Amino acid sequence: MAKKLKLDLEVDSFKRSGVKIVTSRLIKIYKTEAYEVQALRGVDLEVEAGDVVSIMGPSGSGKTTLLNMIGGVDRPTGGKVYFGKLELTSLKESDLEIHRLANVGYVFQTFNLIPNLTALENVELPMAIAGVPKSIRVRRAKWLLSLVNLSDKLHRYPDELSGGEQQRVAIATALANDPPVILADEPTAELDSDTARVVIDLLTSLSKKFGKTVIIATHDPRVAIKTNKIIRLEDGLITGTYTPLEIETVGVKHVTLSELVKMRLASIQKEIDELMRQLREGKITIEQFVSKYNKIKNLENALKELLSSIGSP
């Protein structure tokens, strides 16, 4: 791969801005011998180059599947994915592998850092895989970590960092090869409110300051209201597209920010009930229950404060 992929990286800047993302009649069906699940049911999506958008929807609505199609991680059952001028579904697997390494930066809920590598080494890794000389990748990794305010943590291992610091290392790692597109899957789910705010601001700044295309799948309205556009995905279908303040789209009921927040609040009790079920069945420990319960309640309190601040009962 290193021989096929030639990246023209600057040590302390980004050279590539975002590209337009389009999906056309996108379908994804997962099949087993026992059942069939239609995760995406004909999704038509358009994200302008350099835009930052959020995809909201309940668990199982198809958010992660859609990100995987856009990133070339998985292939659709039907439909097309256009990544700028590139049509992904026509690419060979070897070409898709190169595409993912060069053109897409991923940020995950669980950070996905290599535990036995330092922060600096984690950021270096995508560049090393791409064949970037060590002299360049070390200097660039240091610059990227300075962008996320972690210059003092270069040689710390992931377990020596807080959750927020780990996610910032993950963002720096996602930017290592200067990809035009950043895909973030529930990037604040494991973080407290203050730390989540820092991560949200970092992700949105990638669009505002550097022109990257940023697509964020999230349950969290606090994330969604910082993006330019909110796409509502339910049961594998896009049911609405809104601005953070409010917009009325053709064929979709009028939705306000307060209604989006209320929708998220309404789902919190279901999450608590599910946690209780997992605890009763011995699927999680008491310590895991308490940790997850506290995060859910903190989110609930933050959403209630947000409703109050916008004057909604």
Residue 11 lies in a domain: no
Same domain, 122 and 223: yes
The answer to whether the beta carbons of residues 200 and 221 sit under 8 Å apart is no
Same domain, 190 and 105: yes
Q: In angstroms, rounded to a whole number, what is the distance separating the alpha carbons of residues 285 and 99? A: 40
Same domain, 221 and 172: yes
Average of per-residue pLDDT across 218-226: 83
Torsion of CA 238, 240, 245, 246, to 10 degrees: 180
Query: At which of 253, 270, 288 does a domain end?
Result: 253
Q: DSSP letters along 30-60, please?
A: EE-SS-EEEEEEEEEEEE-TT-EEEEE--TT
Same domain, 227 and 214: yes
- Reported as a pLDDT band with limits 50, 70 and 90, residue 310 is low
Same domain, 226 and 274: no
Q: In angstroms, rounded to a whole number, what is the distance separating the alpha carbons of residues 141 and 270? A: 42
- Reported as a pLDDT band with limits 50, 70 and 90, residue 312 is low
The mean of the pLDDT values for the chain is 88
Same domain, 212 and 276: no
- Reported as a pLDDT band with limits 50, 70 and 90, residue 257 is low
Residue 78 lies in a domain: yes
- Residue 234 sits in a domain whose CATH number is 3.40.50.300
Same domain, 58 and 166: yes
Same domain, 196 and 294: no
Cα distances from 40 to residues 49, 70, 97, 215, in angstroms, run: 23, 12, 23, 17
Q: Which amino acid is at 263?
A: M
Same domain, 236 and 280: no
Same domain, 77 and 117: yes
- Reported as a pLDDT band with limits 50, 70 and 90, residue 34 is confident
Residue 303 lies in a domain: yes
- Reported as a pLDDT band with limits 50, 70 and 90, residue 313 is low
Residue 5 lies in a domain: no
Residue 150 lies in a domain: yes
**Domain interval for residue 197:** 21-253
Q: In angstroms, rounded to a whole number, what is the distance separating the alpha carbons of residues 224 and 55? A: 8
Same domain, 61 and 135: yes
pLDDT the model gives residue 288:
87
Residue 66 lies in a domain: yes
**Rounded to the nearest 5°, which phi and psi values hold at 132?**
-75, 130
Q: How many domains does the chain have?
A: 2
Q: Which amino acid is at 72?
A: G
**DSSP conformation class of 105:** E
Tokens 């606090």 correspond to what residue?
222
Kindly report, residue by residue over 112-152, the tens digit of the pLDDT. 999 999 999 999 999 999 999 999 999 999 999 999 999 99
- Reported as a pLDDT band with limits 50, 70 and 90, residue 245 is low
**What HEC string does 179-199 produce?**
CCEEEEECCCCCCCHHHHHHH
Average of per-residue pLDDT across 165-171: 95
Q: List the strands of the sheet with 229-234, edge to edge.
A: 104-107, 181-185, 213-218, 52-56, 229-234, 237-242
Residue of 7, 8, 3, 18 whose CA lies nearest to 206: 18
Q: Could you tell me which residues are beta bridge partners of residue 28?
A: 40
Same domain, 182 and 78: yes
Query: At which of 253, 283, 300 does a domain end?
Result: 253
The answer to whether the beta carbons of residues 244 and 224 sit under 8 Å apart is yes
pLDDT at position 247 over 90: no
Residue 131 lies in a domain: yes
Residue 6 lies in a domain: no
Query: At which of 214, 238, 253 does a domain end?
Result: 253
